[in-house]
Amino acid sequence: MVMEQEMTELLSLDQSKKMEDSEKQTSPPSSSSHSSPIPIKSRKKGGLITMPFIIANEALEKVGSYGVLPNMTFYLMRDYRLGVTSAQNLLFFWSAATNFLPLVGAFVADSYLGRFLAIGLGSIFSFLGTFVLWLTAMIPKARPPPCNQPGQACKSTTPSQFMLLVFSFMLMSIGAGGIRPCSLAFGANQVDRGDNPNRVKVLETFFAWYYTSSIVSVLIALTGIVYLQDRLGWKIGFGVPTILMFLSAVFFFLASPFYIKQKVRTNLFGSFVQVIVAACKNRKLPYPNENSDYHHKNGSGPQVPTEKLRFLNKACIVKSPEDVKPNGVAANPWNLCTVEQVEELKAVIRIIPLWSTGIMLSINLSQSSFPLLQAQSMNRHLTKGFQIPAGSFGMFLMIALTIWVFLYDRVMLPLASKIKGRPVRLKPIVRMGLGIVVSSISMLVAGIVEHIRRKRAINQGLLNNSQGLVEMSAMWLIIPNSLNGIAEAFTAIGSTEFFYCELPKSMSSLASALFGLGMAVANLLASVILSAVDKYTRGEGKESWITSDINKGHYEYYYWLLAVLTAFNLLYFLVCSWAYGPSAEIDITERMMEASDDDGDDLPQQNISTPGLKSH
């Protein structure tokens, strides 16, 4: 989902500004050599010189990858003869892979390849994916023959043609898995030098340019690339993204001699597995009475694990002095873990229920095919000579999201703080709940708009003509799109900040990755819901709610079903919030700075995500 990805970046940008303010207030002046400027000659690697190449790589990748998605439903339905349900399910699976593989990419980058190679290989795979997709448009035999020959039945897509299309999707997903979890953090590594007194200002500059380029790139994809596809066809519409993907890889590798290429490190997921294995091995051990009988990080002092999820505490029980080496490290990490490792796993397990409440919102945002068909059937003209492409209406979600974030953070909160006479800020968990409420309302409104559109289509005699133009402005679709943007603004920032605050500082990277995992799960569940609705609403002589013939179907019923499910999800969210208890009162700025200082690799990582592009 594009917005989750952009909101994680926006959060990083917003918090970098707060980091600067915090440092100005808390950091005393120092005349030590640590704060003196670094000689220019010593800066052999990294620095602002790398910023244009990293930003160009990410920006061009966004234009290319997001540009092929908005009209993909049309391509699948018209050129590959897929029904709307099959087309949307294929997009769901593609989006699920695109949202899940960055987690794999983060693991591989941290444990084996390093971020430079991960981004480089990701750029190559993304180019190959768009290139193969372009070939499906260029080579006639890669698609079913035209269905316009009289007296001949239309030929369906062959397995080999379908597999070539899926292969292009998989290559693009693999590319996203290498680029998206590493790009922002890799760029920050180049400019975030602990011995640089201007590190916060430099980081702020980088985040500002990075976020701005991301917004501009996606808007170009939603407008320019979509317009090319509508006006000039798929050969040009897919060819331009292919060229951009090629340039993305070229720009990244051009600056290879200037990059700081940090070494790989142990991944957090391996630590979780060690805790589970050690707890199972030590399950028969009694709980000790002394704090010293628990293993902890060297230099941290004796600690005792919390009583919650007590079974896991057995993973850090010291059975004998031989279990710990003289340097304080466990002789076998699969038999003995630290208290810190145990508490990290507990923190993840505790937030899983609240994390799962965001899945329903991602399901709502992943409905890309139906709004596209609605827009195609409505009047999209702004002037007599210009109309908005049907695939470009997703840009209103991004515009609404960006405007709302600005108003909320720069207008509403300062004004409320001035009125109250004290700092006012909604807790992250409250914003998550508000996002679910607004998401339910957006589905309700989307259903109302579709109900009116279908009624007018029938009154115009278009019941059996899904290609007919309904005398209704497509601008009505801006309302549910804008509500989706506001819902995403609340939930994307709120949930990411909640994860940052609730998880230990060593897990900053995981905090931003959790949203992407939620979207991957949402894509799969969305496919299940869609298939179930199609199956159980179809009968003898009766069209499914979500049939390809938009005027014979009942898309409004489907939207309202999602609104009801979201309402139940709100109740589930309230129960999970109550069960979780009070959330931590931790300044996210301080947490991010601590993570950065402790381990440069724990800088905020870019999240995964897409729209109506919303799910990609």
Q: What is the pLDDT of residues 72-82, one digit of tens each?
A: 888 998 888 88
Q: For residue 562, what pLDDT is reported?
A: 95
Average pLDDT, the chain: 80
E-only strand ranges, 343-383: 378-379, 381-383
Please answer whether residues 173 and 101 qualify as being in contact, where contact means their C-beta atoms are separated by less than 8 angstroms: yes
Read off the tokens for 24.
Answer: 């100005």
Q: What is the domain partition of the chain in residue ranges? A: 1-11+45-146+157-265, 268-337, 349-582
SS3 call for 330: strand
40-44, long-range: CB within 8 Å, 24+ apart, which pairs?
A: none
- What tokens were used for 392? 């470009």
**Could you tell me the CA-to-CA distances from 232 to 229, 238, 243 in Å, in that order?**
6, 10, 16
Q: What is the pLDDT of residue 32?
A: 39
pLDDT, residue 557, reads: 94
Q: How far apart are CA 611 and CA 609, in angstroms?
A: 9
Instruction: Give the pLDDT score at 195.
Output: 59
Tokens 């899926």 map to which residue?
A: 166
Match 């007919």 to its residue by tokens.
468
Cα(517)–Cα(402) distance, integer angstroms: 23
Cα angle 403-6-69, degrees, rounded to a multiple of 5: 105
Helix/strand/coil for 545: coil
Spell out, as residue ranges, where the chain has pLDDT lower than 50.
Answer: 2-4, 6-13, 15-43, 587-616
Query: What is the reported pLDDT for 19?
Result: 40
pTM of the model: 0.78
- What DSSP element (H or E) covers 471? strand 470-473
**Residues 11 and 493 sit within 8 Å (Cβ to Cβ):** yes
Half-sphere exposure of 216 (CA within 13 A, CB side): 11
Domain 1-11+45-146+157-265 and domain 349-582 have a common topology: yes
What is the enclosing helix (H) or strand (E) of 472? strand 470-473
Distance CA 526, CA 561 (A): 12
**Closest to 380 in 3D by CA, of 486, 234, 241, 226:** 226
CATH number of 1-11+45-146+157-265: 1.20.1250.20
- Topology (CATH) of 349-582: Growth Hormone; Chain: A; (1.20.1250)
Output phi, psi for 449, to 5 deg.
-60, -45
- According to the model, what pLDDT value does residue 154 have? 74
Q: Quick one: pLDDT at residue 421?
A: 85
Residue type, 596: S
Q: Report the alpha-carbon distance of residue 542 to residue 546 in Å, rounded.
A: 12
Question: What is the longest distance spanned by two Cα atoms in the chain?
Answer: 88
Question: Which residues, 6+ apart, have CB-to-CB distance to 251 below 8 Å?
Answer: 53, 56, 57, 60
- 3-state class (DSSP) for residue 187: helix
Q: How far is CA 394 from CA 263, 365, 521, in A?
A: 39, 10, 22
Q: What is the pLDDT of residue 150?
A: 61
Of residues 559, 378, 557, the one with CA closest to residue 460: 378
Give the C-alpha separation, 3 to 482, whole Å.
12
Both structure tokens of 29 = 């002046």
Q: What is the pLDDT of residue 42?
A: 45
For residue 488, what is the enclosing H or E element?
A: helix 478-502
Task: Determine the pLDDT at residue 52.
Answer: 85
Joined together, the tokens standing for residue 612 give 């109506």
Instruction: Answer whether 130's CB lies under 8 Å from 242's CB.
Output: yes
Q: Which residues, listed in sequence order, are joined to residue 539 by a DSSP beta bridge?
A: 542
